[in-house]
Amino acid sequence: MPSITSWCRIEPAGPGNDVAAGLAARTADPLWLLARQWQVGEFQAEDGGTPIVARWRGQVIAPTRYHLGPIPPNTQLQAPHFDGGDVPLEVFVERQPCGLPAADAPGADGLRLGVDTGQHFLRLLAAQSTTQDYAPAFTRTFAVHALSADDTAGLDQASSGYLRVVAGRALDGRRLRAAIGRLSGAAVPDIGMPIASGDAAEVRAACAAWTAWVDELFSQPDAGEAGQTWQRDRMEYAFSFAARTSADPFDEWTLTASQYGGGALDWYSFDRNGDVNVGTTAGEADAGEVVTRTSLPAPVTLRGMPAPRFWEMEDALLDLGALQPGGTDLFQLLMIDTVSGYGNDWYVIAIDLPTGALVTTRSLVVTDTFGAQTLLRPNGHQATASSSAWSMFQLALPMDDGVDGVAMTNAFFLAGALAQPLEGPPIEEVLLLRDEQANLAWAVERRLTNPLEHAFDAASDALGAGEGIVGGESPDAAPHYRLASAVPPHWIPLLPVRPDPDSAEIRLSRASVLDVGGNGRRTITSRAALLGDPDEPMLIPEEEVPREGAVVRRSFQAARGPDGRLHVWLTHRKSVGRGEGSSGLRFDTLTSPGS
């Protein structure tokens, strides 16, 4: 016979609606209650009293070396020194070159930035007390040049109109910067225009103030470091920091972030790289200091947990009794049991530590209400090796052959992450997608940057806009043979290749597409700065373009550091794409004469 099992929830209910007797909490025999507590051993405090003082002791080590880019295993190098107090860590890693281009740069690159910085120079010059107004002379000497028809052929309408307005009328900061760079120690600045000897100091002061302002306008990498962190083949950042915990040669901690896509840099972005040495010395161990922090433990509270006091009303926003976890939902069952039965046993202590430092714990001494002191060893200590299965916020060794690395106990990197930087609109966007119909992958340049530092639509937003076989007006017309159909504009093909014949690794190589339109045959190559120089080889690992694709954007960011300084930098972001797409590319097709 089948059995029927049912559950009933029994709750106490008084015979009346009067709650005065229950709230009074009357005790008939207080002496009996005290004796009962003594009998069951509640006065012995075997379970420990409430913690009232926590004394934490640990070591704080600041990174002293850095390396931009990936580091091959078994590598020993002498990395440059690192000062974490200069700029925030995210700014230091993500920033890309975005300053004034060279004065002899081809085309209209940096036109808007050159005009805006030139206008600011005129304002600084007007603030100086000179015998005459030098603004018209500076504007004539360093005016924006008008470009030829060949140079403006690829400009969008907004940039062409802007160039016609400012050509010959506005001061070009690109040319002015090149002239100021040639200043010598002469009494009168030699910048290609006459300056009175009595005004030389004022003009030189305006030039110096303007040069300092231009240099601080954007946070940029130093010369020789441009583009080293951004790995163009993987569309990710790669960098390493190193700190030394002691004078022991084996106590160098190298933290490597090999797959940082930008946006949120925190402790989980790093792994400990024990296969490299970046050249920290024994004397750099003095940068780490042993600190002691004493704080008052505060109980951990959350909604729905039992109230520890009799006269305290529990929060009704979360009803743990109404939760209905499944039989296999072990995590939710453990959460309910912990919150309802041990919710008042968890405490948190506040430890004030500097950001951008590697922290290791040495000891934690907890004093309870009975005066008893309990020494807690850090996780991974030899005295707690048998109970070190539980872990949280731990660094790990990098993955090897697809296997997760072993967690490194007792080490926490407190990254100096920015809270909420201001992000501007994307000025460049590249969509990576797979095209199973054509057996190719594509890098779609959806947005490109114009000389005004604005983004313009470079490709059709509708995927699958390529041409196929189109029927003619007359069914009796002779078809035309077409070698290949046209693809949407700014679709750069990525062809699968095998760089090493002895290896099974497949990479996607950037190629070019042949324009078979009515303007004559020409080769269309990439223009996005995210894809780099089209004349240089680019091999993208096949796993970097999954079935869901990827989107890479280029935009400006702004944030204030811990010291209140404003930092503006150009960064790249990588996120999940839009899935697969189709370019409509077909080979060896027959079309009607009217198609």
Work out the percent of the chain whose per-residue pLDDT is above 70.
80
247 or 315, greater pLDDT? 247
User: How many CA atoms, within 13 angstroms, populate the side-chain half-sphere of residue 284?
Assistant: 21
Both structure tokens of 420:
């909420």
Q: How far is CA 498 from CA 278, 442, 494, 525, 541, in A?
A: 32, 18, 13, 22, 10
pLDDT given at position 294? 94
Q: Is the pLDDT of residue 550 over 70?
A: yes
Measured distance CA(533)–CA(555) in Å, rounded: 19
Measured distance CA(275)–CA(297) in Å, rounded: 40
Could you tell me whether strands 428-435 and 550-560 are parallel, antiparallel, or unpaired per DSSP bridges?
Answer: antiparallel
User: How many CA atoms, within 13 angstroms, populate the side-chain half-sphere of residue 290?
Assistant: 4
Asked if residues 447 and 429 have their Cβ atoms less than 8 Å apart, the reply is: yes
- Give the residues across from 494 on adjacent strands: 441, 510
Let me know if 114 is exposed, middle or buried by CB neighbors in 10 A (0-12, 13-18, 19+): buried
Convert the pLDDT of each residue in 214-245 to its tens digit.
Answer: 888 898 888 777 668 898 888 899 999 998 88
pLDDT given at position 402? 47
Convert the pLDDT of each residue in 388-442 to its tens digit.
Answer: 556 667 787 765 544 455 667 788 888 877 878 899 999 999 999 998 888 889 9
At 370, the amino acid letter reads: F
| Residues in the chain, total | 595
Instruction: Return the DSSP state at 248.
Output: S
pLDDT given at position 32? 73
DSSP string, 201-233: HHHHHHHHHHHHHHHHHS--PPTT-TTSSEETT
Start-to-end C-alpha separation, the chain:
76
pLDDT given at position 188? 47
Convert the pLDDT of each residue in 454-489 to its tens digit.
Answer: 888 875 443 433 443 333 445 566 777 777 777 887
pLDDT, mean of residues 259-271: 85
Instruction: Return the DSSP state at 167.
Output: B
Residue among 586, 436, 564 nearest 87 (CA): 564
pLDDT given at position 471? 38
pLDDT given at position 464? 38
Asked if residues 425 and 573 have their Cβ atoms less than 8 Å apart, the reply is: no
Phi, psi torsion values for 32, nearest 5 degrees = -65, -40
Residue among 325, 557, 292, 576 nearest 421 (CA): 557
Distance of alpha carbon 130 from its chain centroid, rounded?
47
Phi, psi torsion values for 522, nearest 5 degrees = -145, 155
Enter the pTM of the model.
Answer: 0.77
